[in-house]
Amino acid sequence: MEKREILKRLDHTLLKQTATWEQVQALCEEGMEYEVASVCIPPCYVKKAKDYVKERLKICTVIGFPNGNMTTAAKVFETEDAVKNGADEIDMVINLGMVKEQNYEGVLAEIQEIKQACHGKLLKVIIETCLLTEEEKMKLCQVVSKSGADYIKTSTGFSTGGATFGDVELMRKHVEKGIKVKAAGGIASVEDAEKFIALGADRLGTSRLISLLEKK
């Protein structure tokens, strides 16, 4: 696969707790140089990053990250704030406690509220596949499909596991037409990236892919 085909699907990511502005700025520089889909950064840097890149690069940030068990009102506020600060894309974490209680209506209602708070910006829904049963994953594919969100996403990268080929296959099979798939967490090689794309991933979330591509 051509390098450019991979890069245009890449959310170049830096979400570690110790991330500094200098590191985020360097990420943005790489993002612009390699023409990636977006950079995914902590909410506190969104305004500064957007002011820095202007319209040369999409800015993505995370909501309810990484645990997802904040109140819906808190997530909605985070989303409104991120959009006001210039975020082009929002990656939200669902409330996994609701999933374990089989409160799928609650999960759906929360996603819909956050989608409304996006004011037309792209919304990706992180379901944290490593903590779910196969039945829960399939059910959440249905929920996200009904929610008005744009993407379903595998993982935060901060739990017990990341994206797997099986999870991407399952998502592609069970989401409705028009819902895209993002694989994130633990993408460790260019070959893995190519396989995720072949299986139907429209986006890849990783911090390592540019450096891996440069070694090819």
Instruction: Tell me which residues are annotated as active site.
Output: 91, 153, 182
Q: Do the strands 203-206 and 10-13 form a parallel or antiparallel pair, or are they unpaired?
A: parallel
DSSP code at position 176: P
The CA distances from residue 108 to 66, 142, 192, in Å, are 19, 10, 31
**Structure tokens belonging to residue 78:** 């985070």
Strand partners, 204: 10, 183
What are the beta bridge partners of residue 119? none
> How far is Cα 158 from Cα 52, in angstroms, rounded to an integer?
28
Calculate the CA 129 to chain-centre distance: 13
Burial label, 80 (beta-carbon count in 10 A; 0-12, 13-18, 19+): middle
Q: What angle do CA 42, 125, 151 make, to 5 degrees?
A: 110
Q: Maximum Cα–Cα distance for the chain, whole Å?
A: 46
